[in-house]
Amino acid sequence: MFFKFLNIFRIPELRNKVLIVAGLLIVFRLLAAIPIPGIDTLSLQQFFASNQLLGFLNVFSGGTLSNLSIMMLGVGPYITATIIMQLLTMIFPRLKQVYYEEGAIGRAKFNRISRYLTVPLAFLQSYGFLNLLRSQNVLGLLNWPELIRNIIVITAGTMILVWIGELISEKKIGNGVSLIIFAGIVSGLPNAVKNAIVAYDPSVLPSYLAFAVLSILIVAGVVFVNQGERKIPVTYSKRVRGNKMYGGASTYLPLRVNQAGVIPIIFAISILLFPQFFAQIISVFSPDFSIRLNDLVARVLNDQLIYGILYFVLVFVFTYFYTAVTFDPNEISKNLQRSGGFVPGIRPGESTSEFFAKATNRITLFGATFLGLVAVLPIATQAVTGIATLTIGGTALLIVVSVVLETIKQLDAQLVMREYEGLE
């Protein structure tokens, strides 16, 4: 495996891509260390310790939220904008046509609109979060010029991060947004390990051992599910053109068990955070209603049972949603029919589309259930053991393993394309 990995650095073009991606991630971590002014550090730590949901978001942002970095929102607003755009593709047929039928140009338009939408969302989220911190006495009393300055800085930080993510994606070595989240999680691992060692209590050794076993099982399960696929046989009819015969070959169409990857987890966290941000945003119009709504949201999300159920349901639903957006049975059926392909025993056209839809729904059921269970299992473990560090371990581990697998696949494809032996 090590010698296969060295092949990456024997190819100048691929080596440059890897070094550029690594450099961009280092730039992200450097920018993440720059805080906004006027922070009460002690109050900030106490506030994050008492808010479970923000603790999750802080893990995804790589600690940029807990020190109120200029990158404090991470790529959250961009993810929210992407969710909105994908919902719109299901509502407006014209937008869906642009996304699917215009190929790379259509996807470029889709991403450009998502970036435009990210700016107002980042502006609103940064205002809502700063207002939340101000109400908790984490920030001092900011006047309007200071507040607007911080909002602009945070919004600019988010857009810089979106730009870095797109530069990474262009190198075709992993997804830029996922790698940024991965880098944030990995950067926090040394501190998490240190805290676990400092807080170690011999009386709860069985809990630590159980968590270690659970982590190994999660890694094995994520690898198994992410690599799992159902191979749908596809046969191409023979066609005669001139004196040559084309087609007649048999191949297969792989349907992945987890086509959505870690996106449902990220979507679910974004949605769970939205009510809290919304409560702060409407404080401009109705402070009393904002306080009542914020208290209600805090009570609901601080209840482990309710929070776990909401988290599971959102992950489950978003797995189906994202799979439906990225895998369109009608388009796959049309493309097969145009190229003379068919599934043995299934009539081309509508019957093939229905077959793909049923097969995808059955496969996604297992993948969505697995992702939901992995997402809430650490919460259940923390509720049983009372060890806070176990709460964030499972979700972070899920994201790290999934991103590593996806990156290895893309590196492997780059090596095979250049006639080198792959990593797998």
| Domain carrying residue 10 | 2-417
Residue 423 lies in a domain: no
Instruction: Tell me how many degrees the CA angle 22-79-304 measures, rounded to the nearest 5.
Output: 105
Q: Report residue 248's pLDDT band, with 50, 70 and 90 as the boundaries.
A: low
Q: Is the pLDDT of residue 204 over 70?
A: no
pTM above 0.85, yes or no: no
Residue 13 lies in a domain: yes
CATH code of 369's domain:
1.10.3370.10
Please give the average per-residue pLDDT across 39-58, as a whole number.
Answer: 65
In a 13 Å sphere around the CA of 15, the CA atoms on its Cβ side amount to: 6
What share of the chain has pLDDT > 90, as a percent? 2
Residue 89 lies in a domain: yes
Q: Report residue 287's pLDDT band, with 50, 70 and 90 as the boundaries.
A: low
Query: Residues 6 or more apart from 254 whose CB is under 8 A from it?
Result: 229, 230, 231, 232
Residue 424 lies in a domain: no
Q: Tell me how far apart the terminal alpha carbons of the chain are, to the nearest angstrom.
A: 8
Residue 210 lies in a domain: yes
Angle between helices 12-31 and 144-170 (to 10 degrees): 170
Number of domains the chain contains? 1
Query: Residues 6 or more apart from 59 whose CB is under 8 A from it?
Result: 184, 185, 188, 392, 395, 396
Inter-residue contact 344 to 235 (CB < 8 Å)? yes
| Alpha carbon distance 73, 155 (integer Å) | 8
Residue 354 lies in a domain: yes
Indicate the DSSP class of residue 344.
T
- Give pLDDT tens digits for 82-105: 878 877 777 777 776 666 666 667
Inter-residue contact 179 to 25 (CB < 8 Å)? yes
Q: Is the pLDDT of residue 391 over 60?
A: no
Please give the average per-residue pLDDT across 381-406, as a whole number.
Answer: 66
Closest CA to 51 of 124, 134, 133, 125: 133
Residue 363 lies in a domain: yes
- Give pLDDT tens digits for 261-284: 777 877 787 777 777 767 766 766
Residue 422 lies in a domain: no
